[in-house]
């Protein structure tokens, strides 16, 4: 240890309890494990915290009966989670990378999502998958925006939080939900030690001590504005936030930002309401352009509020190519702050 | 391709078994056979939608398993689940109505032939994707173990499953965590049109148990008592914390993979040898030698089954079709 004198950053306000997403998630997990003995967590290497340190320290607190280190058998332990959930337990599965969920595709898309439906409600599958999603400099097989792949699957819910406050409240609601929930957090947003935390005014934030839950399926207006509605989530939300703050400062443009913190159920009502006020809609998502959830948002606005629009709906998404490794190439495919800013300015000119 | 002929062991003396158990075994096997033949006829008459995988010939495996389990134990079933479901106690009424896609079906017509089941009696509605049920069954076993319920689950699958990754992952997870599960392979030698010897070098599926450090045993699957004893032993071990067992039961389907499959890809020599070993008349002949099973008694059991089936057909035909609105229900809890 060379440097033992580093000090932690001082919170902005004395009463603020600023946490990162991973700290908020860990706190939510602890609270739910304390509340309900049927909650347990399993995954690869979670004895030391897992890839993003979601379970850091929990083995010591809860023991190997409830913090279960698994072999590398994604399909096996997702299926095992389904079976345990059917018996009334509440399994949480921590994925090192959400990308590995493909190995368990049948268990999610054909089993967890359908066993209740095909049996006319005989069983329920309360299962949460904690899935790091999105691109973070690791080439094609560790950079998928997993939420996009599962958006088409009926019978599961998909949560995509972007702030510590939302992550905690939504996670607790996900654990108590009686359905299978894919809980997708962007790899740049956890704030785990040793990883870049994206910089924006809401990357870390106040999380109250007292318990709260956020119901699944409600979008959240993260910034109120009058000139244009931008719908986004995950990492893209932070980029939109940075652009909006700059535009307000420099050009007095007021962007309204809708955070699609769940994409299933998809709260299009909040978007339509916002567009009725601003008359312009831009959707920014990291998922691939073809069939992205943003297309469903655009379609809903076209169906329900086209008369309110002053110009065409625009979408920024990752082009339909795998994510390349070289940072310059990765940056070239993921929507950037510059692209977001230019698109907003173009839209406001028309 | 290596032809596999039946090799029945020395038959056990039925005089050593409780009469009511023998009666129930015969009644269930006969019911499954007649149910399958009834379904086949209804299909040929064009009265049933969908497709169907019949299990006639394999009655002794399902019945042997369910007699070796406790009533509160669970099973998972395959895409060929009718016999497994009836053996566990799903009623012919609820099954037939399900096959008709009627509201009175065990899954209100939303599952059909490949998804029959009734969770209230431990028959988890069937999972039709080969291999997918094994990790789920391991999970149910995990739930039993962690909640200390003392229950066991039997995971039915065919020999086609043992080349699937899901199955291997489940076998390993069950072994390392000593889960109370029985992996039960109905080896009928044919995965649709492919013979097991073309896709697996081991002669017996049970050999693969050793790779996971669990016991494996091969039994003759056309005798319900052979299956019963193997399952009883495995269930006892599982309940006592000894972990899983792989049981392989050698059997044969009398028909094709599905209803419109004549199965003419199977060599005559193999088919003939197995058709001779029909589990139902063979078991009946053994029962008939006991003083407690006079012909009149056997005939009465059979008449009772026929009456049950007539009632089931009437029920299924009279059951209403589900309202269209039901298509949008049961998506989320």
Q: Name the residue facing B169 among A76, A84, A123 (closest C-beta).
A: A76
Which residues in chain A have Cβ-Cβ distances shorter than 8 Å to B122? none
CA dihedral A233, A236, A238, A242 (to 10 degrees): -130
Res B258: pLDDT: 86
List residues of B whose CB lies inside 8 A of any A CB: 107-111, 115, 117-120, 124-125, 127, 129, 132, 134-144, 146-147, 165-166, 169-170, 172-173, 176, 326, 329-333
Q: What is the pLDDT of residue A2?
A: 44
- The tokens 């391991």 sit on which residue? B138
Indicate the helix (H) or strand (E) that contains A307: none
In this prediction, residue A325 carries a pLDDT of 97
B46 in the Ramachandran plot: left (φ > 0), alpha (ψ -120 to 50) or beta?
A: left
Whether B61 is in a domain gets the answer yes
- Contacts (Cβ under 8 Å, ≥6 apart) of A73: B169, B172, B173
User: Whole-angstrom Cα distance, residue B269 to residue B267?
Assistant: 5
- Whether the per-residue pLDDT at A306 is higher than 50: the answer is yes
- pLDDT at residue A5, rounded to an integer: 43
B144-196 pLDDT, tens digit per residue, is: 999 999 999 999 999 999 999 999 999 999 999 999 999 999 999 999 999 99
Give strand pairing partners of B250.
B187, B220
Out of B107, B142, B146, name the one closest to residue A119 (CB): B107
> Where does a domain end: A151, A180, A206?
A206
Nearest CA-CA partner of A85 in B308, B98, B146, B329: B146
| Nearest CB partner across the interface for B135, out of A40, A80, A154 | A80
- 3-class state of residue B231 by DSSP: helix
Neighbour order of strands in the sheet with A228-232: A220-223, A255-259, A228-232, A281-288, A314-318
Q: Would A138 be classed as within a structural domain?
A: yes
Q: Do residue A116 and residue A193 come from a single domain?
A: yes
List pLDDT tens digits, range A203-217: 999 999 999 999 999
Helix spans in A36-102 (H): 58-62, 74-86
Beta bridge partners of A90: A39
Query: What pLDDT is stored for residue A260 in this prediction?
Result: 98
Look up residue B320 and give its two tokens.
């209403």
> Taking Cα atoms as reference points, which of A348, A346, A318, A170 lies closest to residue A256?
A348
Find the closest chain A residue to B146 by CA distance. A65
**Catalytic residue from among A2, A142, A186, A289:** A142
Contact A154 B331 (CB under 8 A): yes
- Does the model's ipTM exceed the 0.95 cut? yes
Structure confidence by residue, pLDDT tens digits, A20-71: 999 999 999 999 999 999 999 999 999 999 999 999 999 999 999 999 999 9
Would the pLDDT of B308 be above 60?
yes
* Residue of B75, B142, B148 best to disrupt the A interface, most CBs of A under 10 A: B142
Residues A172 and A260 in one domain: no
What is the spatial distance between Cα B130 and Cα B155, in angstroms, rounded to a whole number? 12
The CATH number covering residue A195 comes to: 3.40.50.970
Same domain, A56 and A150: yes
The domain that holds B164 is classified in CATH as 3.40.50.970
pLDDT at B117: 98
Tell me, yes or no, whether B326 lies in a domain.
no
Examine residue B276 and state whether it is found in any structural domain, yes or no. Answer: yes
Cβ distance B139 to A85 less than 8 Å, yes or no, reads yes
Residue B243 CA to residue B178 CA, distance in Å, equals 4
Query: What residues in chain A have their Cβ under 8 A from chain B's Cβ atoms?
Result: 40, 65, 70-71, 73, 75-89, 91, 106-107, 110-111, 115-124, 126, 154-155, 157, 178-179
Verify whether the Cβ–Cβ distance A111 to B129 is below 8 Å.
yes
Same domain, A190 and A121: yes
Q: Which residues does chain A have within 8 Å of residue B330's beta carbon, measured at their own beta carbons?
A: 116-117, 119-121
Q: Would you call B146 and A124 a contact, using CB atoms and an 8 Å cutoff?
A: no
Q: Do B172 and A73 touch (CB under 8 A)?
A: yes
Q: Is it the case that residue A140 has pLDDT exceeding 70?
A: yes
The answer as to whether A8 is a domain residue is no
Is residue A142 domain-resident? yes
Radius of gyration of chain B (CA): 19
Same domain for A117 and A237: no
Angle of helix B295-318 relative to helix B92-99, nearest 10 degrees, comes to 40
Residue A53 lies inside a defined structural domain of this protein: yes
Of A79, A84, A116, the CB nearest to B170: A79
For A190, the domain range is 18-206
Confidence of residue A9 (pLDDT cuts 50, 70, 90): low
User: Which phi and psi (to 5°) does residue B245 adopt?
Assistant: -135, 145
CB-side exposure of A197: number of CA atoms within 13 Å? Answer: 20
Between chains, do B118 and A85 touch, taking CB under 8 Å as contact?
no
**Which of A76, A113, A124, A181 is the best residue to mutate to test the B interface, defined by the most B CB atoms within 10 Å of its own CB?**
A76
**CB under 8 Å to A345, separation ≥6 — which residues?**
none
**In this structure, are A173 and A284 located in the same domain?**
no
Over residues A100-114, the mean pLDDT reads 98
Render pLDDT for B190-249 as a digit per residue (tens, 0 to 9). Answer: 999 999 999 999 999 999 999 999 999 999 999 999 999 999 999 999 999 999 999 999
Altogether, the residues listed in chain B come to a count of 333
Nearest-CB residue to B139 (from A81, A121, A155)? A81
CATH of residue A313: 3.40.50.920
Q: How far apart are CA B168 and CA B195, in angstroms?
A: 20
What share of chain B has pLDDT > 70, as a percent?
A: 100
- Write out pLDDT tens, residues B79-125: 999 999 999 999 999 999 999 999 999 999 999 999 999 999 999 99
pLDDT at A147: 98
Question: Residue A21 corresponds to which tokens in the numbers above?
Answer: 């997403």
**End position of a domain, from candidates A144, A173, A206:** A206
| SS3 category, A259 | strand
A116 CB neighbours in chain B (<8 A) are 330-333
Judging contacts by C-beta atoms under 8 Å, the chain A residues touching residue B132 are 79, 106-107, 110-111
- Does pLDDT of A284 surpass 90? yes
pLDDT value of position A4: 41
CB contact under 8 A, B331 and A126: no
* pLDDT the model gives residue B112: 97
Average pLDDT over chain B, rounded to whole? 97
Nearest to A75 among B118, B147, B165 (CB): B165
pTM of the model: 0.96
The DSSP result for B115-168, as a single string, is G--BGGGTEEPP--STTTHHHHHHHHHHHHHHTT----EEEEEEGGGGGSHHHH
Q: Are A246 and A174 within one domain?
A: no
CA angle, A103 as apex, A186 and B195 as ends, to 5°?
170
Q: Number of residue pairs across A and B with CB atoms under 8 Å? A: 144
Portion of chain A with pLDDT greater than 90, in percent: 93
Could you tell me if A143 and A260 lie in one domain?
no
Q: Do A39 and A157 belong to one domain? A: yes
Closest by CA position to A235, among listed A284, A308, A278: A284
Domain boundary among A172, A206, A240: A206
Q: Does residue B293 belong to any structural domain of this protein?
A: yes
In a domain, B295, yes or no: yes
Number of structural domains found in chain A: 2
Nearest Cβ partner for B331 among A65, A88, A117: A117
Q: To 5 degrees, how large is the angle CA A99–CA A102–CA A103?
A: 115
Nearest-Cα distance to chain A for B42, in Å, is: 23
Contact B333 A82 (CB under 8 A): no
Let me know if residue A147 belongs to a domain. yes
Q: Do residues B123 and B85 make contact, with C-beta atoms less than 8 angstroms apart? A: yes
Q: From the CA of B163, how many Å to the nearest CA of chain A?
A: 14
Over the stretch B41-65, which tens digit does the pLDDT of each residue have?
999 898 889 989 999 999 999 999 9
> Where would I find the H helices in chain A?
21-35, 58-62, 74-86, 105-106, 115-118, 146-150, 164-176, 234-251, 268-278, 293-305, 327-333, 337-349
Cβ pair B331:A110 closer than 8 A? no
Cβ within 8 Å, pair A110-B118: no
Residues A32 and A179 in one domain: yes
Are the C-beta atoms of A183 and A171 separated by less than 8 Å? yes
Report the chain A residue with the minimal C-alpha distance to residue B143: A84
Please give the angle made by the CA atoms of A154, A155 and A159, to the nearest 5 degrees.
Answer: 95
**Catalytic annotation present for A238:** no
Instruction: Report residue B6's pLDDT band, with 50, 70 and 90 as the boundaries.
Output: very high
User: Same structural domain for residues A201 and A244?
Assistant: no
Q: Does residue B86 form part of some domain?
A: no
Residue B113 lies in a domain: no
Distance CA B240, CA B233 (A): 11
Note down the domain range covering B283: 20-39+53-70+136-194+211-222+243-312
What does the pLDDT look like over B125-140, one tens digit per residue?
Answer: 999 999 999 999 999 9
Over range A280-284, report the average pLDDT: 98
| pLDDT attached to residue A1 | 37
Tell me: do A126 and A262 sit in the same domain. Answer: no
Q: What is the dihedral of CA A24, A26, A27, A32, to 10 degrees?
A: 130
pLDDT band at A14 (very low <50, low <70, confident <90, very high): low
Sign of the CA dihedral with A203 first, then A209, A215, and A218 last: negative
């Amino acid at each position: 240890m060379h440097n033992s004198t580093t000090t932690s950053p001082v919170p902005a306000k004395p009463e603020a309890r600023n946490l990162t997403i991973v700290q908020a998630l860990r706190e939510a997990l602890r609270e739910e494990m304390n509340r309900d003995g049927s909650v347990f967590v399993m995954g690869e290497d979670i004895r030391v915290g897992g890839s993003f340190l979601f379970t850091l320290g929990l083995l010591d607190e809860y023991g190997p009966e409830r913090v279960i280190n698994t072999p590398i058998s994604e399909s096996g332990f997702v299926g095992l989670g389904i079976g345990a959930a059917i018996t009334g337990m509440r399994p949480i599965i921590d994925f090192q990378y959400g990308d590995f969920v493909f190995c368990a595709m049948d268990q999610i898309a054909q089993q967890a999502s359908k066993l209740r439906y095909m049996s006319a409600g005989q069983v329920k599958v309360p299962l949460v998958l904690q899935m790091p999603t999105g691109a973070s400099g690791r080439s094609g097989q560790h950079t998928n925006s997993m939420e996009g792949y599962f958006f088409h699957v009926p019978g599961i819910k998909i949560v995509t939080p972007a702030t510590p406050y939302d992550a905690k409240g939504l996670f607790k609601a996900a654990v108590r939900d009686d359905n299978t929930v894919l809980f997708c957090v962007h790899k740049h947003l956890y704030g785990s030690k040793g990883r870049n935390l994206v910089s924006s005014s809401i990357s870390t934030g106040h999380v109250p001590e007292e318990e709260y839950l956020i119901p699944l399926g409600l979008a959240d207006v993260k910034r109120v504005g009058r000139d244009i509605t931008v719908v986004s989530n995950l990492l893209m939300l932070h980029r939109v936030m940075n652009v909006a703050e700059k535009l307000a400062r420099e050009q007095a443009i007021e962007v309204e930002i809708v955070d699609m913190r769940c994409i299933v159920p998809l709260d299009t009502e909040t978007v339509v309401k916002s567009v009725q006020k601003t008359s312009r809609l831009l959707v920014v998502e990291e998922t691939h352009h073809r069939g992205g959830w943003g297309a469903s948002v655009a379609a809903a606005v076209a169906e329900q509020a086209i008369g309110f629009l002053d110009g065409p709906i625009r979408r920024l998404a990752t082009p339909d190519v795998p994510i390349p490794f070289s940072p310059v190439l990765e940056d070239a495919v993921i929507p950037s702050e510059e692209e977001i800013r230019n698109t907003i300015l173009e839209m406001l000119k028309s | 391709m290596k032809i596999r002929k039946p090799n029945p062991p020395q038959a056990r003396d039925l005089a050593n078994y409780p009469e009511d158990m023998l009666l129930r075994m015969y009644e269930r096997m006969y019911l499954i056979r007649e149910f399958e033949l009834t379904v086949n006829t209804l299909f040929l008459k064009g009265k049933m939608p969908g497709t169907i995988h019949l299990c006639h010939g394999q009655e002794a495996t399902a019945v042997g398993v369910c007699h070796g389990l406790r009533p509160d134990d669970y099973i998972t079933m395959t895409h060929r689940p009718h016999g497994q479901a009836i053996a566990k106690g799903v009623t012919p009424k609820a099954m037939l109505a399900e096959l008709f896609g009627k509201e009175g079906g065990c899954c209100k017509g939303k599952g059909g032939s490949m998804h029959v089941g009734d969770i209230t009696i431990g028959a988890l509605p069937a999972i039709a994707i080969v291999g997918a049920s094994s990790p789920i069954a391991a999970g149910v076993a995990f739930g039993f173990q962690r909640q200390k319920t003392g229950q066991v689950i039997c995971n039915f699958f065919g020999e086609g499953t043992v080349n699937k990754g899901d199955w291997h992952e489940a076998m390993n997870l069950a072994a390392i965590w000593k889960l109370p599960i029985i992996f039960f392979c109905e080896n009928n030698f044919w995965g649709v049109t492919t013979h097991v010897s073309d896709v697996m070098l081991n002669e017996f599926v049970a050999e693969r148990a050793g790779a996971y450090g669990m016991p494996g045993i091969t039994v003759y699957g056309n005798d319900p008592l052979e299956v019963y004893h193997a399952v009883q032993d495995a269930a006892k071990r599982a309940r006592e914390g000894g972990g899983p067992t792989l049981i392989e039961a050698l059997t044969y389907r009398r028909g094709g993979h599905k209803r419109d499959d004549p199965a003419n890809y199977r060599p005559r020599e193999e088919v003939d040898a197995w058709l001779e070993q029909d589990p139902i008349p063979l078991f009946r002949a053994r029962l008939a030698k006991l003083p407690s099973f006079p012909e009149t008694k056997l005939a009465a059991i059979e008449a009772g089954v026929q009456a049950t089936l007539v009632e089931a057909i009437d029920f299924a035909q009279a059951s209403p079709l589900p309202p269209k609105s039901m298509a949008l229900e049961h998506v989320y809890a």
